[in-house]
Structure 1
Amino acid sequence: MKFSSLFRPMDLVVGAANAVVVISWSLVQWELRTRDVQGLNEDLGWIVMSVSVVALFFRSAFPLAVTLVTWAATLVYYPASSTDGPMLSAFVIALYTLAALGRLVAASVIAAATFVIVVVSEIIARFAHMTESETLMLAGWIVAVPAIGAVVAHYRRYRAETLVALAEAQRRSVAEERIRIARELHDAVGHHLSLINVQTAAALRKLRKDPSFRTEEVLEVVAQTSQLSLRELRAMVGVLREAGEDSPTGPGPGLAQLPSLVDAARASGLDVELRVDGGAELPVAVDAAAYRVVQESLTNVLRHARASRVQVRVVIGTSTLAVAVADDGVGDAKGASAPGNGLTGMRERAEGLGGTFNAGPREDGGFAVEAAWPLEVPK
């Protein structure tokens, strides 16, 4: 066993302090001939005192053994020695340590046994060493020591559980933040890259068929889309770099930006119909989530659905916001199924704010995505 596991710094300090007090006090009383009743065996008294003093240095490594050793030494010392010194202190400290380290049952049993021995022995001796009140006071203190240790043990346990809970909450918060950032990157940058991919792929097909095809219009759309992508990337990086939550982060995405989103999809060849009914001030989180759901739905249509027509409808009521995106495609508009992508990401955005989400094939063909949020976001 390593030295550090046997002797803790506080044990060394407490043990040394106890040794100085007990030995010096006893020596002074011995020299001044301040004696109680005649002891049975003075040499034995000094021996058990030394054992008790040394044992206390190991109180944290072997709490029960040290408590029993100091208890036995104390029981032997007072009948054996005529010097009524502070020999009891080592046992009291050991008993407290036993209870503070969670061994409350053992500490209570030893304290109860000590209480009985102290009271019965003084009654038999007709209170030759202490008065009735002093005996009861000493016995009461011995019983109170485990109770004090139990309070300390409870506090330590509570503190340890609190630290574990805080660490778990921090770990969960970091994981949720990573998922949120990944979702933002996927929805924002992924959408723009999908538009760029669709535009460039279509332009390449036309160039293969007609080498004289002019690509200025396509390149202009690609340039505008990439500029939007860079803008959103810079905004995200700026938010991540902010030192405080109160720092301005600029306007985030919202339904007010739907016209430009629809225009970009139209530039990719889709016939997009946008309809917005109602108007009200929306919670920022709900506004952003609704925009991202529409954005991701259009991205999935462009990448997977092989659709020619898309309907985007937004209904803003007094207590609910609903969005729906329906296409006439024949492909798989579900998008990626990996966590954080496609339908999974959209469902998280809806249900994370207390809303609902549904997606699936339409009876008359195509695919539909529907989401709704309460306008009062749950805390």
Structure 2
Amino acid sequence: MNPVQKSSRAMRPSARRQDVFLAVGLAVLASVVAVSFGSGRRPDAFGWALLLALHVPLAWRRRAPLVVLWVMVPLIATFHEHDYNHSAPTGASMVLLYTVAVTGSVRRTVIVGCSVIGLMVALKFGDGMAGVAESFQIAGWVVSMLVLGGYLRVHRQLTATALERAERAERTREEEARRRVAEERLRIARDLHDLLAHSITLIGVQTSVAAHVLTEDPDRLDRAAVAKALDDIADTCRSARGELRTTLEVLRDHGPADTRDPLPGLDALPDLAATARAAGAKVDLSVGTGASVPAAVGAAAYRIVQEALTNAVRHGGRADLTVRVGVHERDGALLVDVTDDGAGTGDGTPGFGLVGMRERVRSVGGTLDAGPRDELGERAGFAVSAVLPLRAHGEEGAR
């Protein structure tokens, strides 16, 4: 229901009251005209009954205009046929014609106008030239009322249409704003998951290394190994804290998006490999790209490698875990391949890592294939392969 319909329903009792007052006022005016001036004779008892009766249906003119028309026309015609004061019912006649035009279609308005003018000409036909002249005069008033009513009807329709369009545009803007908020929340959730899962996994592995060194042979404590493990933990915490601060910048209103620090890209892949090596994995990193990799694609590749390394370290299940990371540009796309030879013995519950990777790949229009590697019928690690197109995404998608 549009605003015009709501307002009309809300004002219906008031409108009915206004129509009643209008009918009473027109009846009083018609009575004054009937005894004061105009052509024709003063009404007698029958004339007064006709004059007052033809105003009663006006109280329902908005609810059933055609019914009111068919009730009033015979009463008005009978009033004129008895040669009562012809000016007395003019006000009621004009309001009736206006109501028919303002509430109906153009076709109905034309039909009613032609019928009324035809009936008037038939009634005045016997009056000679005087009747013809009076017919033209009255026809002018009839046409004027119909045109006025039709104009106001079109104006109201255009206003209602404009309001409906404005309301639809406002709904569209609100839906777009909600969609953008949802997308931003999803992006933040992905960033936090990638960052925290990676950092916490590395911290857990490094802590296990320190604990192992402390408990393996307390009498011959390798202080250098313990210190190195603790330094690795501190470095991971500092790196996580800095990247977390960068990620959370989107929640603060410090300025436009382009003033924020960019998320890590391909140039940060060696740091990922270094942290994975510190956790005990052997990482073979190979990067071969040009200088035309969009920031959005670079960020997606970084997060894919980060999540794949995190999963390999967490679920590898072997001390001599080897991970091969390849990032190369080929045929207008960035190919990201991460494979490991782990046993896949992780006992953690399934998380959102693969889901986040697929969402990131879709955000830049790419494809992802991830699953266990099968060699000679036996499981031999895990493989992640992504194809990220370079030409369809510009720099503006980085955030």
Look up the equivalent residue of 1:194 and give its one-letter code: T
Task: Provide Cα deviations, 1:241-267, integer angstroms capped at 9, x if missing partner.
Answer: 126535510232111111111111110
Query: Counterpart in 2 of 1:119?
Result: 117
Q: 2: CA distance between counterparts of 1:183 and 1:327?
A: 23
The secondary structure found in structure 1 opposite 2:302 is helix
| Cα displacement (A) at 1:221 | 1.3
Structural RMSD (CA): 4.1
Q: Shift in Å at residue 235 of structure 1?
A: 1.5
Say which SS state the counterpart of residue 85 (structure 1) adopts: helix
Distance 1:152 1:275 in 2: 65
Residues 140-168 of structure 1: CA deviation (Å, up to 9, x unaligned): 55556555444444444434433333333
Residues 117, 278 of structure 1: alpha-carbon distance in 2 compared, 3 angstrom cutoff: same
Matches within 5 A, 1:1-379: 8=10, 23=25, 27=29, 30=32, 33-35=36-38, 41-42=47-48, 45-46=51-52, 49=55, 52=58, 65=63, 67=65, 71=69, 75=73, 79=77, 82-85=88-91, 88-89=94-95, 92=98, 96=102, 111=109, 114-126=112-124, 128=134, 130-131=136-137, 132-142=139-149, 146-211=153-218, 212=221, 214=223, 215-242=226-253, 244-246=255-257, 248-306=259-317, 308-317=321-330, 319-331=332-344, 341-364=352-375, 365-378=380-393
Whichever of the two has the greater Rg, that structure is: 2
| 1:362 partner SS | strand
> Residues 287 and 192 (structure 1 numbering): CA distance in 2 closer, same or farther, change over 3 Å?
same
Native 8 Å contact 1:115 1:142 kept in 2: no
Matched-pair contact (CA < 8 Å) for 2:106–2:150: yes
Distance 1:47 1:125, change over 3 A: closer
The answer for the alignment partner of 1:59 in structure 2 is none
d(CA) in 1 for partners of 2:123 and 2:254? 74
One-letter code aligned to 2:259: P
List alignment gaps of at least 5 residues for structure 2. Answer: 1-5, 80-86, 125-131, 395-399
Task: Please state how far the C-alpha of 1:10 moved relative to its aligned partner.
Answer: 10
Q: Is the 8 A contact 1:312 1:324 kept in 2?
A: yes
| Contact 1:353 1:373 (8 Å CA) reproduced | yes
Letter in 2 for 1:30: V
Against the structure 1 CA distance between its residues 95 and 342, is the aligned structure 2 distance closer, same or farther, given a 3 Å change threshold?
Answer: farther
Per-residue deviation, residues 63-110 of structure 1 (Å, max 9, x unmatched): 6x26457656764785557142376447746864x5xxxxxxx76786
SS in 2 for 1:30: helix
Question: Residue 303 of structure 1: CA displacement?
Answer: 1.7
**TM-score in terms of structure 2 length:** 0.73
> Once structures 1 and 2 are overlaid, which stretch shifts more, 291-300 or 147-156?
147-156
Aligned-partner residue type, residue 118 of structure 2: V
CA distance in 1, matches of 2:200, 2:98: 74
Percent identity for Structure 1 against Structure 2:
31
Cα 1:89–1:319 shift into 2, 3 Å:
farther
**What's the secondary structure of 1:125's corresponding residue?**
helix
Distance of 2:93 and 2:255 partners within structure 1: 58
Partners of 1:155 and 1:178 in 2: how far apart?
Answer: 34
Report the Cα distance in structure 1 between the residues aligned to 2:190 and 2:355, rounded to whole angstroms: 10
- 8 Å CA contact retained: 2:94, 2:145: no
Per-residue deviation, residues 107-138 of structure 1 (Å, max 9, x unmatched): 67864663354233223224655545554454
- Per the alignment, residue 129 of structure 2 pairs with none
8 Å Cα contact 1:70/1:94 also seen in 2: no
Distance 1:336 1:366 in 2: 18
Normalising by structure 1, report the TM-score: 0.76
Q: How many residues align?
A: 358
Structure 1 unpaired stretches of 5+: 57-62, 99-105
